[in-house]
Amino acid sequence: MNAIMTPSPDHAAIKAKQNAAWSSGDYAVVGTTLQIVGETLAEALDVRPDQLVLAVAAGNGNFALAAARRWADVIACDYVPALLERACARAAGERLEIGIREADAEALPFADCAFDVVASTFGAMFTPDQERAAAEMLRVCRPGGRIGMANWTPDGFIGRLFKTIGAHVPPPAGVRSPALWGTRARLDGLFGAGAASIAVEAHVFAFRYRSPAGGLPGLLRPPAQGVRRPRRGGAGGVDGGPAGADRPVQRR
């Protein structure tokens, strides 16, 4: 009998490529487009004053700022410094206070049970090691706390885009689709052992642009000379399809 060996994915190499991609382009445009999702998630999690809140893979700060607007004590972490700089600039523009920490979602530099609320909008779903990222979010959330995510779903526009890209540029062996985070089955598998309850609610997100040319092609344009504008993920279209799992996971 011949053994079939499946190579383990090189997570470090994957993250290096992600970091380079998300440090370039014009993500400020994408971040503005997705801002309402951070507000929706903060409402779903019922973020309140003085709660300790961690925004994981925070990007340019959509959820972190939404939590800060509700007077929570917020830390935004991401492993892309350029995105954290953008989050700081946005916070300063609104006279909001947020802490920032350069950190990998798969190895959060925080103590166990440190936060009342742990959340991620279209961020942690892109980690190469999904199990590790979920375990870290559970670890730093206090018992009785809440974990909330906004994730693209497999059947929405972004999920279909992932499939189209994957048909031409297959992902590394052993790496699961980010859109799986947008399914109840995957969330049960990732969080079920450590969660008292899991709730999932689907929302339809509409990408709104003046024209098709201002959508995906516009986002792929390089930033204006002399202006540093990071871009991370996302794509233009008419309907983003369901952005799932933006209801809380209740920590045991």
Give residue limits of the domains in the chain.
12-18+25-251
In angstroms, the CA 250 to CA 191 distance is 10
Contact 164, 251 (CB under 8 A): no
Partners of 102 in beta bridges = 78
The whole model's pTM is what?
A: 0.80
Query: Which amino acid is located at 42 in the chain?
Result: A
The dihedral sign for the CA sequence 240, 244, 247, 251: negative
- What pLDDT, on the 0 to 100 scale, is given for residue 223? 42
- What pLDDT, on the 0 to 100 scale, is given for residue 20? 61
Say yes or no: domain 12-18+25-251 is CATH 3.40.50.2000: no
Tokens of 173: 């062996």
Contact 102, 73 (CB under 8 A): no
pLDDT-flagged residues of the chain (< 70): 1-11, 13-31, 212-252
Tokens of 9: 């994915």
Contact 204, 181 (CB under 8 A): no
